[in-house]
Structure 1
Amino acid sequence: MNSMARRMFALVEPIGMVPYSADEPNEAMFALGFTNYWDTYFAGRAAPLGLPTAEVVDALFYNFAPGEVARHLPKVWRTTTPEAAIAARQEGCVKALRRILGIRVDGPALARGTELLTRAATSAPTQGRPMYAALRALPVPGEVVARMFWAASLLREHRGDGHIAALMVEGVGGLEAHVLAALDLGLPADKFGRIHHLPAAQLAAVIDGMRDRGLIGDDTWLSEAGRAVKQRVESLTDDLAARPYESLEPEELDELMTILEPLATLLLAAQD
């Protein structure tokens, strides 16, 4: 496992999660006319792709149940445009980051951290990274907090593209990935946030399929083989996520980590 990539994930993820962990991004999207959280999710995250079909977005997002994406796309584009969704999401995230980080957002440390983060985020090849490529094709925001959020989102989508590749290498489907994550955390699959809403028969079929392949034991928890698959997926994900940070000198990477640590602490506390 690439410990550097894992450490950077822990520091960057709280920034990239702001659209889903703070109120301001939802409020900005609702101001466009949305009334449903999942409409805002699909509009906000899919917007850099333009106007692809639900089938394409389902393939790229990977981990939604059949038909879930189609309930929101292309419907959301009757409410707004991709360009307006991108702008609203950015506006809401900047407001949230300014509220949570306070005076830190106007200091030299954050400006320097954003410079390093942006350099890393824009340094990796886009081949085989569709979500990363779509977001990277957008104009670089001029305002420093917006640029920090954009860079963190780039790194999140870059890692996500690699994570899907790692899941596919191990033959783990999208819904199965949620089951793996839930059981690895010690949660029953039917209590896990991203799949608890599925019909019981559908979720049972996913679990039965994993049990048939030896990933889940008769006790309904991960088997030794299941734990090994989860570990290999995470290890390969970390390895595939390392490339952007290799563009920084070791001392620059250390500096970036030092800058991001207190920001991540504040952002994680705000989630609670």
Structure 2
Amino acid sequence: MTTDTAEPAVPEQAVAAGRLARGLEPLHAQIYFAPEGDPRYTAAGLDEGRMTYVAPRAAPMGAVGPSVVTAAFYNFAPSLVARSLPRAWTLASPADLVAARFEVADASLRRLLGDAVDSPEMAEAATLARTAAAAVSPDGRPLAAGHLDVEWPTAPHVVFWHALSILREHRGDGHIALLVAAGLSGLEALLTATATGTGFTPEFARASRGWTVQEWNDGVARLGERGLLEHAAPSDETVVPVLTEAGAALRKRIEDHTHRLGAAPWGALGADGATRLGEIGGAFARTALANGAFPSDGVFAARPAR
């Protein structure tokens, strides 16, 4: 007698929820590239540089220390986070930075979407997305939990953005749990994700997350020894990671189960609600991308939405 040890298939509903989440993600993620961001955050008191990313994103969790943020963000170098925290909390309160983030979201979405921010479709999308966000469980989801505790804004397009932020961090928290289970450190997770070719370019991924060339290339070598990346010759430049067959299978398995762990809130919409949100939100995402939501060169190996 033989025993089937193959993993059970991820339910199609979970895969569909994952596709919806990924399709809407640009509407959340654009804030990290918005030109409105740095001026507003420095006006709040923050130093220029990566502090204007680290502190505002962490702010919904309160004045937490660098170890907590490194754990929650996962693929950032601890040294980069430590350069921003706890100093940021002496310059601006978490509450002030949460308010600043909403202001940046308001301004950036108005620039990217124009009159659509005041449309009936935006109000409908905000209601649907908030329904899904309200179904998020904080269990084991520290970054999503922090966002759940933030008081809701009132403008529909900012409600929509905040709901997508909760849902994105919920999905991300589950993704990190799977990376830990797979034995991938934060750097190793970044390396394997970059090697899929659907996210950041290697140089931008390394530099923006604060890893040195030596740390990056040492990580490539370790994963080469594990059979997850192709072996690369020693280099003084950022090595381009290339997945092996085993590495590609691992990334697919992680992505599939990220869909599974992130699916529950989207189920609150029902099939019709999810389809409708995908239609409206997808149109908004395409408009935002067409209007320059992300840099055109040197950052992405491919557009972040699909």
Cα 1:105–1:200 change in 2 (3 A) is closer
**How much does 1:241 deviate?**
1.2
User: Which one of 66, 73, 79 corresponds to residue 61 of structure 1?
Assistant: 73
Which ranges in structure 1 are unaligned for 5 or more consecutive residues? none
CA shift, 1:66, in A, is 3.1
What amino acid does structure 2 have at the position aligned with 1:195?
R
CA–CA separation in structure 2 for the residues paired with 1:188 and 1:18: 14
Asked whether the 8 Å contact 2:24–2:278 carries over to 1, the reply is: no
8 Å CA contact retained: 1:6, 1:238: yes
Please list, as runs of the form range in 1=range in 2, the aligned pairs for 1:1-272 lying within 5 A after superposition: 2-185=14-197, 191-196=202-207, 198-218=211-231, 221-269=242-290, 270=292, 271=294, 272=296
1:198 is aligned with what amino acid? W
Letter in 2 for 1:192: E
- Give the distance between the partners of 1:143 and 1:161, measured in 2 at CA: 27
Shift of 1:20: 0.8
Partners of 1:166 and 1:192 in 2: CA distance: 25
Poorly superposed stretches of 4+, deviation over 4 Å: 186-189
Counterpart residue number, 2:4: none
Q: Is the Cα contact below 8 Å between 2:23 and 2:285 reproduced in 1? A: yes
| Greater CA drift, 198-207 or 88-97 | 198-207
Report the 3-state secondary structure (helix = DSSP H, G, I; strand = E; otherwise coil) of the residue aligned with 2:211. Answer: coil
- Tell me how far apart the structure 2 counterparts of residues 239 and 114 of structure 1 sit (CA, whole Å): 24
Please tell me the root mean square deviation across aligned C-alpha atoms, in Å. Answer: 1.9
| Letter paired with 1:23 | P
Q: Which moved more, 1:11-20 or 1:132-141?
A: 11-20
| Superimposed CA distance per residue, residues 8-40 of structure 1 (whole angstroms, 9 cap, x where no aligned partner) | 123321111122121112221121133423111
> Which amino acid is 1:194 matched to?
A
Asked if the contact 2:206/2:213 (under 8 Å) is kept, the reply is no
| Helix, strand or coil at the partner of 1:96 | helix
Please state which structure has a larger fraction of its residues in helix: 1
Question: Does the CA-based 8 Å contact 1:28-1:92 persist in structure 2?
Answer: yes
Mapped partners of 1:11, 1:188: distance in 2: 17
CA distance in 1, matches of 2:288, 2:185: 31
Amino acid at match of 2:225: D
Equivalent pair of 1:27/1:92 in contact (CA under 8 Å): no
Q: Which runs of 5+ in 2 are unaligned?
A: 1-9, 233-240, 297-306
The answer to which of 175-184 and 24-33 deviates more is 24-33
Tell me the TM-score normalized by structure 1. 0.93
